[in-house]
Amino acid sequence: MANSDIRQRILELKAEKNALVLAHYYQPLEVQDMADHVCDSFEMAKRARAAEQQTVVICGVVFMAESAKILNPGKKILIPVMEAGCPMADMVTPEDVIKLKKEHPDAAVVCYVNSSAAVKSVSDICCTSSSVLRIVRSLPQKKIIFIPDKNLGAYVAKQVPEKEVILFDGFCPTHNRISESDVLRAKAAHPDSVFAAHPECREEVLNHADFIGSTAQILDYARKSEEKTIIIGTEQGIVERLRRELPNKNIYSVAASFICPNMKKTGLQELLNCLENEQWEIKLTDGEIAAAKQSLDRMVSI
């Protein structure tokens, strides 16, 4: 089937099945183009919670679809590729969190949304990279256990020095791979540039950033910036989107291989199969949903 036919059929199926399609910014552009909304994780969670359609398709990785199910349990939540996991989310288990809670009984557990439903259920509140600072500052506890991303946690500790942040040893393999020499090389190649980085990058990378923010915040920064040349320190999907949106600016990736392989597992054909066969459906028990819902609800309401 030609791509134009696949696109046409996806549109028909979306209408026939009254399905809402949400895509993350790291998805391939061809998938983003078929979505009703392209979002970061925070907006995706909010849109999933407010969805009026009976079926919601999450083009992203599994924890995003799980979050959508937890926030809107009465809906059918589908993901085109069930194997699209997030290695960072798999680095922490509920047992790890329970152990940390025992060691630090006076601490609040702030859980990055990139985590399983089981881990969310033993956490006090979730956060995304766009909401993390606001959420940590809003908590009455002075001590924060931050899971699973040590880089985002270290960034929070620096930005919110009035809190004591206990870090866990998790990381995003895609962002953690970027080194200071990648940044220096990119800056040398584009001397009149500014550098915008995601806080999942290592501190040695963030130290060179002119702007640090979530995917949505980086997009906003690039759109509003007076600078003509911007080096992007996050996944390639953002670079491609910005190049298309801002043809008068020079947009570069900080490193050639800044690609999340899990986000790229979804293509047009996978989205078509998902809508046609209503697969793969996210199934969580009522108990799992109830246990994880509190921490997600708290995040969305702050």
Question: Cβ 17 to ligand SF4, closest distance in Å?
Answer: 26
The residue assigned the tokens 């992007």 is 232
* Site for ligand SF4 contains 86 (CB under 6 A): yes
Q: How far is CA 48 from the centre of its chain?
A: 14
* Site for ligand SF4 contains 88 (CB under 6 A): yes
Residue type, 91: M
Question: Cβ 83 to ligand SF4, closest distance in Å?
Answer: 13
Question: Cβ 235 to ligand SF4, closest distance in Å?
Answer: 6
Question: Cβ 261 to ligand SF4, closest distance in Å?
Answer: 8
* Site for ligand SF4 contains 263 (CB under 6 A): yes
For ligand SF4, give the closer residue by CB, 130 or 262: 262
C-alpha separations of 77 from 22, 57, 59, 143, 292 in Å: 11, 6, 11, 35, 16
Interface with ligand SF4 (CB under 6 A), residue from 172, 183, 251, 291: 172
Alpha helices (H) along 146-211: 150-159, 173-176, 180-189, 203-206
For ligand SF4, give the closer residue by CB, 113 or 139: 113
Interface with ligand SF4 (CB under 6 A), residue from 214, 262, 266, 295: 262
Rounded-to-integer distance, Cα 258 and Cα 147, Å: 23
Question: Cβ 175 to ligand SF4, closest distance in Å?
Answer: 6
Question: Cβ 243 to ligand SF4, closest distance in Å?
Answer: 19
Stretch of residues binding ligand SF4 (CB under 6 A), selected from 14-22, 27-35, 66-74, 173-181 = 173-181
Angle at 101 between CA 169 and CA 45, to 5 degrees: 70
Write the Ramachandran bin of 278: left for phi over 0, alpha for psi from -120 to 50, otherwise beta. Answer: left
- Classify strands 37-39 and 108-112 as parallel, antiparallel or unpaired: unpaired
Write the Ramachandran bin of 18: left for phi over 0, alpha for psi from -120 to 50, otherwise beta. Answer: left
* Site for ligand SF4 contains 126 (CB under 6 A): no
Interface with ligand SF4 (CB under 6 A), residue from 6, 33, 73, 87: 87
Stretch of residues binding ligand SF4 (CB under 6 A), selected from 85-93, 97-105, 122-130, 272-280 = 85-93
Stretch of residues binding ligand SF4 (CB under 6 A), selected from 81-89, 160-168, 248-256, 283-291 = 81-89
Question: Cβ 174 to ligand SF4, closest distance in Å?
Answer: 4
- Smallest CA-to-CA distance from 127 within 111, 142, 148, 141 is with 111
Question: Do residues 283 and 62 make contact, with C-beta atoms less than 8 angstroms apart?
Answer: no
CA quadruple 81, 82, 83, 84: dihedral positive or negative? positive
C-alpha separations of 18 from 107, 162, 271, 286 in Å: 44, 48, 15, 25
Interface with ligand SF4 (CB under 6 A), residue from 27, 55, 114, 266: 114
For ligand SF4, give the closer residue by CB, 61 or 156: 61
Interface with ligand SF4 (CB under 6 A), residue from 260, 275, 282, 289: 260
- Classify strands 125-127 and 108-112 as parallel, antiparallel or unpaired: parallel
Maximum alpha-carbon separation in the chain? 58
For ligand SF4, give the closer residue by CB, 199 or 274: 199
Stretch of residues binding ligand SF4 (CB under 6 A), selected from 49-57, 116-124, 203-211, 259-267 = 259-267
Residue numbers of the site for ligand SF4 (CB under 6 A)? 26, 61, 86-88, 114, 172-175, 235, 260, 262-263
